[in-house]
Amino acid sequence: MAADLLAGERVLAFDLETTGVSTQYDRVVQLALVGANPDGSEIHYEKLVNPRRPIPAGASRVHGIYDPDVRSKGDFSTIADDVSELIEGAIIVGHNVRKFDMSMLESEYLRLGKQAPKPKAIMDTYELVRRLKIGRPHGLGPQCTRHGIELKNAHTAAADAAASLLLFWRLSVDHAPSFRKSVEEIERWAVHGAASPDSSDLGRGLTDLEPVDNLGKIRIDDGHMVLAFGRHKGRHLSEVQKEDPRYIQWLLSPKGIEDDDARDRVRTYLGNI
């Protein structure tokens, strides 16, 4: 089923190993994109990345990457263009890839003052196993075991990426009726569930909204300013101002919003609330 669903597309399983679990503050130490081009030619892109900071011991114990392993490697800026070219317009497969790996990637591009690449669709196997009501635990390792997939070298980027691609294929075969639609429809279903019978529009996503700044960190939704990145992603600035004023102070600094005009617009907006 997955082969027909993904025919003619660039399909890439994606996984990161990082210095920690904060998508805003931690950094990438390893990146893997494994899959194929529309013509069937294989893609295997795997890089170690220098995070320009010490890798915490706890993180190293998980993924086995230590400071000496990355000391001679380039930082994320040295691979940013290659990664962007691969991901832009591709179908990305991964486990918890939407909230973690793609969010982490977005933060890396924002630090460089660049727009993150936009895939055609994201097939998140973590979202899919939950939507299909498959039993817990929902982590990649247990789900691979449940579905007869051997996961060697777990917590290395390439191994985890390849395993998520196999898991997606297994889900599409075992639950074929749920995959008899376009990848865009499957993605909407995985994220939002089934639409009501009279619903034809699931609403605009954050990337469809008008940007306030040149990187699209802040966007306009029906007159309200909404955060499109970071730990408050998807929330109105007015809510964040009440609950986390320190975050707003950081946001209004050059480290938060680099665009001077955009910072002034945000200040004016918050001052009028």
* One CATH from 3.50.50.60, 3.30.420.10, 3.30.1330.10, 3.30.930.10 for 2-192: 3.30.420.10
Range list for CATH 3.30.420.10 in the chain: 2-192
Contact between residue 20 and residue 56 where contact means Cβ atoms under 8 Å apart: yes
What lies within 8 Å, CB to CB, of 66 at 6+ separation is 55, 60
What string of H, E and C letters represents the secondary structure of 196-254? CCCCCCCCCCHHHCEECCCCCCEEEECCEEEECCCCCCCCEHHHHHHHCHHHHHHHCCC
Contacts of residue 234, Cβ cutoff 8 Å, sequence gap at least 6 = 206, 226, 227, 228
**How do the pLDDT tens digits run along the chain, 273 residues long?**
565 788 899 999 999 999 999 998 999 999 999 999 999 999 999 999 999 999 999 999 999 999 999 999 999 999 999 999 999 999 999 999 999 999 999 999 999 999 999 999 999 999 999 999 998 889 999 999 999 998 877 778 999 999 999 999 999 999 999 998 889 999 999 998 874 433 334 445 677 788 999 888 999 987 889 998 887 888 889 888 888 888 899 999 998 998 899 999 999 999 876
Q: Give residue 170's identity as a one-letter amino acid code.
A: R
